[in-house]
């Protein structure tokens, strides 16, 4: 079997092939729902699925790989093949995707000598091991080996970051040496600077955009007259940041753009077809100085896609089916059912434990003269606590936190002094040591998501230094809180609202497992575990997202456990399970 091209036409086994692809990230969808999402892609009229591969998930610790369970990309691709879908795989090594650090593992950021995304030996050595291991799972599924993977992407939008052509050519060599003998391509934003920085003549180049399709594809045709014209990411919607509004786009506008592809025979990849969820701490972030600096992405990756976060068909889905039929595409009958949704009612929280009491059980502490970044202590995600003791007797002084790229909650002698959040905080916090003999200073820093796009992708988490009126503070106990061991918590107190960072344990009864959405309206900021699985973050005062998606496979018949960690303090313990999401303030 073969997949090639001649001029502007793709050829599948020497026959013309029209590419209608949709993006579904297997790592954002519970594996129990892969078949459902892929079937709905097929029944919408698409013939191909595209997915990124997240390096940080598959190699969470250097040299330790995981391609099992929800990370079994081979199973995902095989499921697509069973349904008659072809596949495009984009292993990066950088993927952007509004994903934590653009897919780079945190351990890669620990050493400043590792220069990312360039022809640097140490970096290339590490990424080659990852790529070779990943391609082991993809190689048997390549079209050249009788599988359904027709193309693979080299790097990702590289021209928006750099221009090291030697690096790109070396990546192609690694792909080929590892057995990726399918069609390879690069992709970039539709402008000349990105094109010249991110493309190489050896393989096709595609463009990413969400509008101005005529103009963008005319430019691609001018630059690459001898290859197919493809939008490798047609942005049908957009993602949300905390403090932002929920993005929407109507079906008419989307279909107007897609009709240009169909009329002219252009290939496209619909990004996203099913967005899914940034479970756990896997959301990425952007950096916009004019919007407050560090801007983390919310938990939902709904993206205003044809399938909603929970997999329901949207108006865009049905409009696309009609459009495809208009252009003579054989659209299958609808057989896939929507998932059952249930409103299980209120969650009853019965026990709690403060973070201070939990530290000996879930934290590991090291001493350092100066604060260390999270990566330098071997931690990847979650929270980190910096504690020191200083002599009192001084007047009011500014507390200066350096290297903080996220959000810190500061405590003085156990009492909350305030919150400092990157450049959103316009003034420094102030410490008054006048009447204090000793001051115990605790600084809780949350990794709210590493930057996934642009020059700041080497985004480190935690603190680099702290000072009072120019005097550096030395002698720190640094406690790692990855929050991946909460089974060790000892819930010894009756649950009640608290103004301190606290874990709350509750439960609800499910007569039958079904999709549901939890609304933690009485809480402020933190994350939630359902039966031990981290479903993601909430941030009520920031919005826009007000509920978190709980897929049915996470539930069991009978009692289900809910653990909420709230870092900011609660006025009430109200949380309710609804049968519909609330992704906006309204």
Q: What is the pLDDT of residues 455-472, one digit of tens each?
A: 999 999 999 999 998 899
pLDDT of residue 248: 96
Reduced to 3 DSSP states, what percent helix, strand and coil does the chain have, rounded to the nearest 5? 25, 30, 40
CA distance 573 to 290: 35
Nearest Cα residue to 147 out of 69, 89, 91: 89
pLDDT of residue 111: 87
pLDDT of residue 60: 98
The answer to whether the beta carbons of residues 95 and 25 sit under 8 Å apart is no
303, pLDDT greater than 90:
yes
| Torsion on CA atoms 259, 265, 270, 273, rounded to nearest 10 | 80
455 is annotated as an active-site residue: no
Nearest Cα residue to 363 out of 354, 7, 92, 461: 354
Tokens of 54: 């997240």
Please list, in sequence order, all residues whose beta carbon lies within 8 angstroms of the beta carbon of residue 545, skipping any fewer than 6 positions away.
Answer: 240, 242, 246, 298, 299, 300, 538, 539, 582, 583, 584
Question: pLDDT tens-digit profile of 79-114?
Answer: 999 999 999 999 999 999 999 999 999 999 998 889
292, pLDDT greater than 80:
no
The answer to whether the beta carbons of residues 290 and 226 sit under 8 Å apart is no
63, pLDDT greater than 90:
yes
Q: What is the pTM of this model?
A: 0.97
Question: pLDDT tens-digit profile of 65-75?
Answer: 999 999 999 99
Which residue blocks in 30-112 are alpha helix, DSSP H? 34-44, 55-58, 73-82
Percent above pLDDT 90 for the chain: 96
Catalytic residue among 50, 157, 205, 309: 157
pLDDT of residue 413: 96
Question: pLDDT tens-digit profile of 418-467?
Answer: 999 866 766 889 999 999 999 999 999 999 999 999 999 999 999 999 99
pLDDT of residue 109: 92
Helix (H, G, I), strand (E, B) or coil at 553: helix
157 is annotated as an active-site residue: yes
For the segment 307-333, the average pLDDT, to the nearest whole number, is 98
For the segment 373-378, the average pLDDT, to the nearest whole number, is 97
Catalytic residue among 59, 98, 100, 233: 233
CA distance 84 to 350: 50
Cβ-count burial of 572 within 10 angstroms (0-12 exposed, 13-18 middle, 19+ buried)? exposed
Question: pLDDT tens-digit profile of 22-38?
Answer: 999 999 999 999 999 99
Tokens of 162: 């750099």
Q: Indicate the pLDDT class of residue 226, thresholds 50, 70 and 90.
A: very high
Let me know the angle formed at the C-alpha of 113 by 109 and 118, rounded to the nearest 5 degrees.
85
CA distance 457 to 106: 11
């Amino acid at each position: 079997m073969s997949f090639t091209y001649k001029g502007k036409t793709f050829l599948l086994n020497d026959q013309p092939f029209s590419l209608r692809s949709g993006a579904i990230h297997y790592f954002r969808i519970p594996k129990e729902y892969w078949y459902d999402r892929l079937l709905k892609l097929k029944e919408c009229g698409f013939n191909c699925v595209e997915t990124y591969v997240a390096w940080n998930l598959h190699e969470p610790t250097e040299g330790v790989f995981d391609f099992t369970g929800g990370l079994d990309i081979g199973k995902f691709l095989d499921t697509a093949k069973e349904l008659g879908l072809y596949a495009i795989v984009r292993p990066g090594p950088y993927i952007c995707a509004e994903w934590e650090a653009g897919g780079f593992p945190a351990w890669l950021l620990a050493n400043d000598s590792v220069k990312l995304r360039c022809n640097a030996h140490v970096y290339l050595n590490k990424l080659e091991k990852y790529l070779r291991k990943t391609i082991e799972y993809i190689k048997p599924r390549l079209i050249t080996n009788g599988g359904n993977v027709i193309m693979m992407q080299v790097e990702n939008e590289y021209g928006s970051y750099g221009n090291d052509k030697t690096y790109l050519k070396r990546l192609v060599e690694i792909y080929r040496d590892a057995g990726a003998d399918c069609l390879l391509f690069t992709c970039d934003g539709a402008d000349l600077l990105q094109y010249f920085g991110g493309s190489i003549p050896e393989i096709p180049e595609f463009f990413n955009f969400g509008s101005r399709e005529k103009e963008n594809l005319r430019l691609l045709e001018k630059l690459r007259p001898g290859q197919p014209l493809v939008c490798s990411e047609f942005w049908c919607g957009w993602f949300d940041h905390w403090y932002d509004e929920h993005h929407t786009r109507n079906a008419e506008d989307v279909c107007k753009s897609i009709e240009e592809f169909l009329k002219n025979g252009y290939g496209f990849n619909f990004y996203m077809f099913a967005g899914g969820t940034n479970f756990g701490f896997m959301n990425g972030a952007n950096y916009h100085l004019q919007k407050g600096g560090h801007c983390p992405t919310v938990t939902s990756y709904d993206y205003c896609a044809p399938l909603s976060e929970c997999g329901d068909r949207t108006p865009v889905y049905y409009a696309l089916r009609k459009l495809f039929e208009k252009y003579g595409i054989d659209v299958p009958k609808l057989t896939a059912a929507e998932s059952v949704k249930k409103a299980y009612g209120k969650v009853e929280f019965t026990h709690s434990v403060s973070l201070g009491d939990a530290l000996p059980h879930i934290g590991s502490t090291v001493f350092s003269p100066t604060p260390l970044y999270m990566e330098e202590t071997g931690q990847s995600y979650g929270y980190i606590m910096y504690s020191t003791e200083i002599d009192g007797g001084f007047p009011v002084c500014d507390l200066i936190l350096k290297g903080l790229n996220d959000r810190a909650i500061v405590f003085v002698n156990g009492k909350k002094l305030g919150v400092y959040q990157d450049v959103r905080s316009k003034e420094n916090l102030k410490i008054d040591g006048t009447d204090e003999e000793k001051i115990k200073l605790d600084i809780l820093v949350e990794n709210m998501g590493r930057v996934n796009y642009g020059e700041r992708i080497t985004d480190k988490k935690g603190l680099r230094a702290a000072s009072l009126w120019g005097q550096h503070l030395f002698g720190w106990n640094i406690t790692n809180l990855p929050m991946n061991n909460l089974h060790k918590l000892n819930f010894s107190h009756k649950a009640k609202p608290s103004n301190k960072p606290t874990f709350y344990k509750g439960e609800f009864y499910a007569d039958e497992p079904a999709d549901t959405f939890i609304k933690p309206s009485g809480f402020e900021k933190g994350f939630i575990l359902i039966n031990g699985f981290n479903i993601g973050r909430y941030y009520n005062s920031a919005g826009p997202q007000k509920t978190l998606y709980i897929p049915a496979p996470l539930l069991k018949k009978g009692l289900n456990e809910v653990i909420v960690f709230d870092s900011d303090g609660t006025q009430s313990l109200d949380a309710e399970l609804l049968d519909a999401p609330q992704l906006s303030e309204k």
